[in-house]
Amino acid sequence: MHEYSIAYDIYATAKRAAEDNFATKIKKVHVGVGELTMINPEQVIFLFETMCEEESLFKDCKIECTNIPVKSECECGYSGNERFVCPDCGKLPVVKEGMEILVTNIEIEVEDEDD
């Protein structure tokens, strides 16, 4: 179940970024999930939210997963979303996007310096 390790990495990344920026609260974490990652985003969301339950920095934090579609290229010049066989020449295209999991944005709150 690699969803757990992915959820933990997202949690740790958000926590580190918040601490580095002196955040008082993490409101939302945006994650891009490639079509070819073979993970279940719903499980990642559940596990992430479970990890956040006991951490005050993450109180009411939400996670939003968006799909990253496949983008591929072939040496013949083809560019598109074919994963297995180039429709122009029949060779194996190189997948350029769609295999990654990225934390794309972290929404935080910081304490006002005037307080």
Binding residues for Ni(2+): 2
Give residue for tokens 């926590």: 15
Give residue for tokens 């918040």: 18
pLDDT tens, position by position, 69-95: 999 999 999 999 999 999 999 999 999
Binding residues: 2, 74, 76, 86, 89
Binding residues for Zn(2+): 74, 76, 86, 89
Query: What does the block give as tokens for 28?
Result: 């939302």
**Predicted structure pTM score:** 0.85
Contact, 6 vs 38, CB < 8 A? Answer: no
pLDDT attached to residue 112: 76
pLDDT tens, position by position, 3-52: 999 999 999 999 999 999 999 999 999 999 999 999 999 999 999 999 99
Give the number of other Cβ atoms within 10 Å of residue 64's Cβ: 14
Domains of the chain: 2-69+98-110 (3.30.2320.50)
